[in-house]
Amino acid sequence: MKFQKSHSLQEIADLLQCEFIGDKDFQVLGMNEIHVVEPGDIVFVDHPKYYDKALQSAATIVLINKEVECPEGKALLISDDPFRDFNVLTRHFKPFQFANVAIAPSAEIGEGTVIQPNTFVGNHVKIGKNCLIHSNVSIYDHTVIGDNVIIHAGTILGADAFYYKKRPEGFDQLISGGRVVIEDNVGIGALCTIDKGVTGDTTIGAGTKLDNQVHVGHDTVIGKKCLIASQTGIAGCVVIEDEVTMWGQVGTTSGITIGTKAVVMGQTGVTKSVEGGKSYFGTPIEESREKLKQLANIKKIPEILSKLK
């Protein structure tokens, strides 16, 4: 998430009421999660296990809960609770905007687009040309939709990321300030849910088709011309490359990559990254040919035991 203008390190420290290490005029351009950070971004880290990863990332400002040696060319914000203060920044730079009409005045809707009754279109949404948005669709603020997109009834674009920190008193949510981006010629079935990024974009690539009741987690990037069948659940921060096929009731873990033109058969649990151009099945996931051989061999066990007796 980029800020509308550049801010100084001193300004950000004053906002958070925290100490800092570095030039007070150090340039701060935005804030992002570690997998999408760029120079000028703030990244937060609150566990020693991930200190080095954050400090050596592309981010040039690290919001951290311990005073450590600052890498050259970077700056530190020292906070007693980086998770809390990351939320402070999101609330400040991307505050919630109330809407009291079905289509927000700031929404931009392209020529030839049809929006059926009872659909909500939020603040600063952009919808391209010749789209068809069926009834009871909810399109949250800042969502971007390309041309020739079809979205069926009951789908929700832009709900919050499922991202929590466990506290003694319960779970504390990491506030989502990102977007959903739907590219041209995408088809989205009924009752799908696509969560926005925490600070970046959840993206559905051009020409991809989602069946009914598909869930896409925060910051996931789905490539072009993919086919994803019903009741598939895709976790956050997943990369699905171009022309991947995922059949019904597939589930994935977070942070993995599914390679170009992979085929994932129904009810598979994608527990790790997999190469493109192959077919996969089972939980934990394996190449389908090998998995089916294993299942065939299992069926022979009673016969083998009988012979041994």
Consecutive H or E run containing 20: strand 19-21
Half-sphere exposure for 219 (CA within 13 Å, toward CB): 22
Half-sphere exposure for 33 (CA within 13 Å, toward CB): 20
Q: Say if CB 83 and CB 43 are below 8 A apart.
A: no
Q: Can you tell me whether residue 172 is helix, strand or coil?
A: strand
Task: Return the DSSP state at 93.
Answer: H
Q: Say if CB 243 and CB 263 are below 8 A apart.
A: no
Burial of 227 (0-12, 13-18, 19+ CB in 10 A): middle
CA Rg value for the chain: 23
Residue 284 burial (CB count, 10 A): 11
- Give the phi and the psi of residue 285 in degrees, each rounded to 5: -65, 140
User: Which residues are catalytic, by number?
Assistant: 218
Interacting residues of 46 by C-beta distance below 8 A, sequence separation 6+ = 64, 65, 81, 82, 83
Count of positions (residues) in the chain: 309
